Structure 1
Amino acid sequence: MLHSMTGFAAHKGMANGYSWGWDLRGVNSKGLDLRLRVPDWIEGLEGVLRAELSKKLSRGAVTLSLRVQKDDEDSQQALNLGQLSTVLEAMAEVETQAMDRGLSLAPSHASDILALRGVLDTASIETDTKALRAAIVADLPDLLTSFLEMRRNEGEALDSVMKDQLNQVEALTEASAEAAEKRRDDVAANLRANLARVLENADNVDEGRVAQELAMIAVKTDVTEELDRLRAHVVAARDLLAKGSPVGRKLDFLMQEFNREANTLCSKAQSVDLTGIGLDLKAVIDQMREQVQNVE
């Protein structure tokens, strides 16, 4: 079964006097790019979560956000002075750059600064966060289950669309073969006419050179290899779809091969009908390539 790289899941949990909210999002990417935004005061949490995500995901730009708060009176909010200093320095630089360009910025309010991530931390009087970390990690599978389910559903839709597109490519390939066969007589007639014109206007023609030129022309107009490779690529693509994710990279490479054969087919066409079919073929391949970009 195919899996899409696009997905979203949200989940809430609580344990040991704490509550938390998860947010997991995924989009397409060439590789696996994990971006975690988790409380740094829970020792070792990010490393464990990163390892667990890597076991279940093979590709995609995935962002995991986690907000944790203590539910009783022991929790308190405190300024993160280091982060506050960084923010204020950045604001001063922005204002300086704006003034140098003659721009006027609206005044900042303390509430705006406090709302920035990391400036105001939720801290706890507890120093041992092992139990909290274990509870949060134990809650991760529920989030991942929802996330992977959405990716599978998206993958099923991609599978259906791509199978239909492969059917179109197959049909257009066979239509190309028929068009190539129909143009055979026209190509031969043109070749004979051109050859006769050359022989009539040239003395002491090198028969060997003429034979060589004819062979080159024949190669430049023969699309048999391109059609055979297109048929083989259709078979390979269907095999990959049947195999299921992770096959995104292989499908992406195969789309490049599809496109290369379609381009060569158009360049060798020498026929209005064959050129039209080749252009239709390229359009379907481009559409299929867009879908492949989302396959894990």
Structure 2
Amino acid sequence: MTGYASASAGTGPDTGENTESTAVRAGTVTVELRSVNSRFLDLTLRLPDELRALEPGLREQLTQAFKRGKIELRLHGERADTEVRPPAAEQLARLGMLQSAVLAALPQSAPMSVQEALAWCRSTAPAPVLDEATTEAARLCVVRLREARAREGERLVAILMERVEALRALAAQAAPLVPQVVERQRQRFLERWNEALAAAGASQGVPAEALAERAMSEAAAFAIRIDVAEELGRLQSHLDEIARLLRQGGELGKRLDFLIQELHREANTLGSKSAALELTRISVEMKVAIEQMREQVQNIE
């Protein structure tokens, strides 16, 4: 299913705890997740080099949370360089020693300004550890993406239920036509059989009762071949199972894939055995509705 979610988490400069206040963050991680339709789970992770070691853990999080879909994770980590913090005494002492050494060797050099001293202290400060923040941001992002996909899933279920009801209506239209078509084709077969016998003079030496019995046997066999009542019964059974799965919820995408294939098979058989224009039209409309269901089912996890 399609969806998008993002989440951020940060580490505080003193406690290292996650916090949502940007004013006290020493580092911030933002995780973005994008999901598009796919029959299988396809993961793509785009991480900065300094956080590449977290890829196995992030993949495990996504694999546990999702079963289908092409999912892309983007991770951005940054330090809060805009935060003004007083440099540590050790940093200033070391900086003073370095400046004295430089001025002793290069007397013409200008002393370091306050701004340059602060920039040097920030650049030499240890980078914040963002592992825990990354894990927390990924967890929040996964929860939000699952919620987004669940909302889309509810819409897809409503669409699929509409298609199920449309197929039920088409099957209800076809059911009373089946005996009529069978009887009409049987009468037509007998008429053509009798015409063929009369034209060939087949009554020579062959009892009329035997010819009539053979004609009825052939007509019955033909009627069985064009009877689609069994296909309509199986189609109704598949529709009942699809409706039950949709109401039940859970991970049902692959089971629905199989049932859609079975629906398509029954609709194809209905069209191939159809001996009347009305049943052919119903078969075509069924195939259209089933194909629409197939496209939507690929979006369901």
Give the TM-score category using the shorter length: 0.7 to 0.9
Contact 1:162 1:291 in 2 (8 A): yes
> Secondary structure at 2:39's aligned position in 1?
coil
Instruction: Compute the displacement of 1:72 (Å).
Output: 2.8
Question: Which residue of structure 2 aligns with residue 12 of structure 1?
Answer: 8
Note the C-alpha offset of 1:73.
8.1
Matches within 5 A, 1:247-266: 247-266=252-271
Letter in 2 for 1:46: E
Tell me the secondary structure at the aligned position of residue 35 of structure 1: strand
Deviation at 1:183, TM superposition (A): 2.2
Partner of 1:230: 235
SS at structure 2 position matched to 1:270? coil
Aligned AA (1:140): A
Greater mean alpha carbon deviation, residues 247-256 or residues 39-48: 39-48
Query: Are 2:297 and 1:292 aligned?
Result: yes
The whole-number CA distance in structure 2 between the counterparts of 1:280 and 1:171 is: 11
Alignment: residue pair count: 242
Q: CA deviation at 1:212?
A: 6.5
Match of 1:182 in 2: 180
Larger radius of gyration: 2
Report 1:191-270 matches (<5 A).
191-202=189-200, 203=202, 213-270=218-275
2:147 matches 1:160: no
1:78 alignment partner in structure 2: none
CA contact (8 A) 2:235 2:266 kept: yes
Select the residue among 136, 139, 148 that pairs with 1:138.
136
AA of the residue aligned to 1:253: F
SS of match in other structure, 2:43: strand
The residue type paired with residue 225 of structure 2 is K
Aligned pairs (5 A) from 1:99-178: 131-178=129-176
Shift of 1:125: 6.5
AA partner of residue 158 (structure 1): L
Contact 1:245 1:295 in 2 (8 A): no
In the alignment, the residues of structure 2 paired with residue 209 and residue 45 of structure 1 have an alpha-carbon distance, to the nearest angstrom, of 79
Q: Contact conserved, 1:237 with 1:251, CA < 8 A, in 2?
A: yes
Q: Residue 3 of structure 2 aligns to which amino acid in structure 1?
A: G
The Cα of 1:148 is off from its aligned counterpart by 0.8
How far apart are the structure 1 equivalents of 2:124 and 2:191? 95
The Cα of 1:154 is off from its aligned counterpart by 0.3
| Deviation (angstroms), 1:171 | 1.2
Report the Cα distance in structure 1 between the residues aligned to 2:241 and 2:138, rounded to whole angstroms.
Answer: 37
* Corresponding residue of 1:60: 69
Percentage identity across aligned positions?
35
- The 2-side partners of 1:177 and 1:126 are apart by 79
For residues 266-286 of structure 1, give each alpha carbon's deviation from its aligned partner in whole angstroms, at most 9, with x where no partner exists.
122211222122221111111
Q: Which digits, 9 at most, give the CA deviation of each residue in 1:34-82, with x for residues without a partner?
A: 11111232363111111111111111110000011122389xxxxxxxx
Deviates more, 1:7-16 or 1:254-263: 7-16
Mapped to 1, the partners of 2:195 and 2:11 lie a distance apart of: 91
Contact 1:22-1:143 at 8 Å conserved across structures = yes
**Alignment-mate amino acid for residue 249 of structure 1:** K
Query: Which letter does structure 1 place at the counterpart of 2:6?
Result: A
RMSD: 2.5
> Structure 1: how far apart are the matches of 2:275 and 2:151?
44
Q: Is the 8 A contact 2:170 2:282 kept in 1?
A: yes
What stretches of structure 2 of length at least 5 have no aligned partner? 13-25, 84-122
Structure 1 residue ranges, 4+ long, deviating more than 6 angstroms after superposition? 124-129, 204-209
CA distance in 2: counterparts of 1:245 and 1:40, whole angstroms: 37
Structure 1 spans left out of the alignment, 5+ residues: 75-123
Contact 1:33 1:59 in 2 (8 A): yes
In 1, the alpha carbon distance for the partners of 2:267 and 2:124 equals 67
2:102 corresponds to: none
